[in-house]
Structure 1
Amino acid sequence: MKPRFTTALLLLPAAAWFVAMLVLPLIVVFVFSFGERGPAGGYVPAFSFDNFLNLGARWTAFKNTMVLAPIGTIACLFIAYPLAYFLAIRASAKWRTMLLILVIVPFWTSILIRSYAWIFLLGGKGLPSLIAALGLGHIQLINTPFAVLVGIVYGYLPLMVFPIYVSLERLDKRLLEAASDLGAPPLNTFLTVTLPLSMPGVATGCMLVFILLMGEFLIPAMLGGGKVFFVGNALVDLFVQSRNWAFGSAVAVALVLVMLVTVTAYMRFTRRWSGGRDDISLM
């Protein structure tokens, strides 16, 4: 009993923090979702399902989120994996640290400033003017789903690179040498050795990026220009501008449920793909 008591005592601060900062706010949001909007906004206690029945009014936000978040995650994966592979397998130790620092550099600047930079690059005086000067016609880039995806990939790429890099860096290089000695072509070696052993990093990176994208607000607001908005933008509108806390809470509860179902299905898929192992993590 003494080791159990010691373990419980050590976990108590983390458990208290988890309950206070995550569980209790979720309970409050859940309770608010059944209430009503007050005459001057805010929340009035009630027990009604009208807020959930009215979720269709924000269908566009849910649709954009459920379409662009997975696409952005996949785009980050396809760009991050070759980069992480080069850093972990091909790059020399002399340059590896410098290249890793370059991957981190965007995080040294606020995402707000970086988004303003992309507004200029994708706006009328940026890439569209260059394309028009080349005689390729006028192309609208800003305030489009493409602009939002560009901002997503730029902003979240490091979060995908590092889990994959750690997984590949821990890979036993002798396995690659053994596959080469046995006559396996490079592609077969990658598909049968490198890729399966790096799946923990892939799964972790995809999970990090996807979960954060589901609640993204700033990138759609700035690069979407009010034409491409996520559920996060709808929540800001409901809580800050419309002051309809009850309906906003219902939207938040629906978003949490969608994320819970999606993440659970994803974890089951990755576990089944990996042969039932529970090692889809960086630990």
Structure 2
Amino acid sequence: MKNHKKIWHWGYFLTLLPMYLFTIIFILGPLVYMIILSFLKRAETWGVVWEFSLQNYADMFDPVYLNTFKESLKLAAISTLLVAAIGYPCGYFMAKLSARWQKISMMILMIPFWTSSLIRLYGWITIFTANGVLDKALMTLHVTDSPLRLLYTYPAVVGGMVYTLLPFMIFSVYSSAEKLDFTLVEAARDLGANAAKAFLTISFKLTLPGLLSGVILTFVPSMGLFFIADILGGNKVVLIGVVIQEQLMKVHNWPFAAALSVALMILTSLMIFIYRKISKVKELEGLGSF
């Protein structure tokens, strides 16, 4: 019996070993290296000098870099609000469709993922460019009299962010709304609640975890999707991801790029921590209501 337990124990360990090795080599290892690199000094020509320094973190308080963090947070907040405003109703009403139309809707949302996001963003250039598809459509409908020249502007970057991240919000809300018992809403209506009150007290509260997870899946990536700002915004919209890329590829200041990456990681980790705290509070409120 003991031999069987020992064999089972080693078999269980060997099955988990590849996952642990992958996590250590490809996730934990690079993170530790990045943190160590952020405390080193840049060499005069190439590489780093292995001397402990806090200068990289002190340099981040330069008004230029602080403003870049501010703009990144601003763009992430605007994109997240727009994605939530569009994605929540889509995910909620998708859950109310029949099983056949749910599958069709999910397929429509998943088809763009079969193509590289870079290729899809280059497609938006033909839409936003002067005298492009959007301009011609608006002028044909007599909404505008001249080209809008949306390409390489802030709204173009926001549009690219919303387009890229919208499916994550829709799927998150859909996963919560699908589990919702809509008979509870009908019961609330029978007890005298109007449609708005029944939605806010029943539907919205029960689908709030999906909305919050969608916010995290939208806000956190939007802080680092520098290629969207690079393609659709040109050099006019500078995000923290663009600065990190420049420090790595052009300036070759790897320690400072690592310090910026650590700061960005702390910001995103803080968002996830807040999300988990809110989720726990909502879960306790839900348990207390029974």
TM-score (norm 2): 0.86
Q: Which runs of 5+ in 2 are unaligned?
A: none
Kindly report which structure 2 residues correspond to 1:1-283, keeping only aligned pairs within 5 A, or say none: 9=13, 11-55=16-60, 56=62, 57-89=64-96, 91-126=97-132, 127-128=134-135, 134=142, 135-136=144-145, 139-273=148-282, 275=284
Letter in 2 for 1:93: A
| Superposition deviation, residue 72 in structure 1 | 0.8
Letter in 2 for 1:206: V
Q: Does the 8 A contact of 1:131 with 1:137 survive in 2?
A: no
Letter in 2 for 1:52: Y
| Superposition deviation, residue 81 in structure 1 | 0.9
Letter in 2 for 1:64: E
TM-score (norm 1): 0.87
Deviation string 1:124-152 (CA, Å, 9 cap, x unpaired) is: 12234665674555534222221111001
Q: Does the 8 A contact of 1:33 with 1:247 survive in 2?
A: yes
Q: Does the 8 A contact of 1:128 with 1:141 survive in 2?
A: no
Letter in 1 for 2:127: L
Letter in 1 for 2:205: P
CA distance in structure 2 between the aligned counterparts of 1:6 and 1:65, rounded to whole angstroms: 48
| Superposition deviation, residue 93 in structure 1 | 2.8
Letter in 2 for 1:88: A
Q: Percent identity of the aligned residues?
A: 34
Q: Does the 8 A contact of 2:189 with 2:195 survive in 1?
A: yes
Q: Which stretch of the first structure deviates more once superposed, 265-274 or 118-127?
A: 265-274
Q: Alignment partner of 2:41: what SS?
A: coil
CA distance in structure 2 between the aligned counterparts of 1:238 and 1:132, rounded to whole angstroms: 42
RMSD: 2.6
Letter in 2 for 1:46: E
CA distance in structure 2 between the aligned counterparts of 1:141 and 1:275, rounded to whole angstroms: 47
Q: Which stretch of the first structure deviates more once superposed, 123-132 or 22-31?
A: 123-132
| Superposition deviation, residue 119 in structure 1 | 1.4
What does residue 281 of structure 1 align with? none
Q: Alignment partner of 2:49: what SS?
A: coil
Q: Does the 8 A contact of 2:154 with 2:233 survive in 1?
A: yes
Letter in 2 for 1:184: A
Larger radius of gyration: 2
CA distance in structure 2 between the aligned counterparts of 1:5 and 1:64, rounded to whole angstroms: 52
Q: Does the 8 A contact of 2:79 with 2:158 survive in 1?
A: yes
Aligned pair in 2 of structure 1 residues 11, 178: CA closer, same or farther (>3 Å)?
farther
